A and B are shown apart, each in its own frame.
Chain A
Amino acid sequence: KAGVTQTPRYLIKTRGQQVTLSCSPISGHRSVSWYQQTPGQGLQFLFEYFSETQRNKGNFPGRFSGRQFSNSRSEMNVSTLELGDSALYLCASSLTAGGKSYEQYFGPGTRLTVT
């Protein structure tokens, strides 16, 4: 099976702009989670989507949002970019059912640089 894919892989944006990142999960996986990775804060959970619904959300401002489509592909959007949003954004897909946590497989990430 093909792994998790993310596009674009690299992105440079200016403060105040907005950005949309895309994630395609492993075929058959219906859960997509998003994480932000920075040298200072490490890996932090942003949100999780399952069946087009946000199931869980981390402690990030409302500028960070996401959605999931009927084919399980997910997008995340960051509006009014700040310098501190520069990070590697990782998505992870999971085969999930019910309330149990399942193995998550990460994509290669999108490296966002805000100038």
Chain B
Amino acid sequence: GENVEQHPSTLSVQEGDSAVIKCTYSDSASNYFPWYKQELGKRPQLIIDIRSNVGEKKDQRIAVTLNKTAKHFSLHITETQPEDSAVYFCAASGTGGYNKLIFGAGTRLAVHP
């Protein structure tokens, strides 16, 4: 069935370090991969996304890479700041297309000053 695995479940870094979160998806038909940031008590917020025809996308301190062959995609955050502390979710478009997203279990990122 459809599945997205996300690692690690928790990540602790020092301010200024980089953070990397990895996801693996099962459905080879998935073609859209968004990342969401969810702060405590808040709604998930779209931070970056990538489509299957692109290998890498960057937006300031955030980048996402996609390896379609291996069905892996990763989020890279450079120069982390305390306000980056949150739960990050990866997702992949699900069977049937349209706007069905299959989410990973989430990574709790803590950035220590």
Contact = CB atoms under 8 A, between A and B. Distances in A.
A94 B49 CA distance: 14
Contacts of A7: none
Interface in B6-57: 31-32, 34, 36, 42-46, 49
Given A44-B103, A92-B99, A101 B43 contact: no
B89 A99 contact: no
Contact of A43 (B32, B89, B93, B97): B89
How many A residues are at the interface, by size bracket?
Answer: 20 to 34
Contact of B96 (A56, A90, A103): A56
Interface of A: 31, 33, 35, 42-45, 48, 50, 55-56, 58, 90, 92, 94, 96, 99-109
A43 B98 contact: no
B55 to A, nearest CB: 18
Given A42-B106, A45-B94, A104 B43 contact: no
Nearest to A6: B43
Contacts of A96: 98-99
B2 to A, nearest CB: 9
A38 B23 CA distance: 20
B91 to A, nearest CB: 8
A45 B100 contact: yes
A58 B2 CA distance: 11
A101 B97 contact: yes
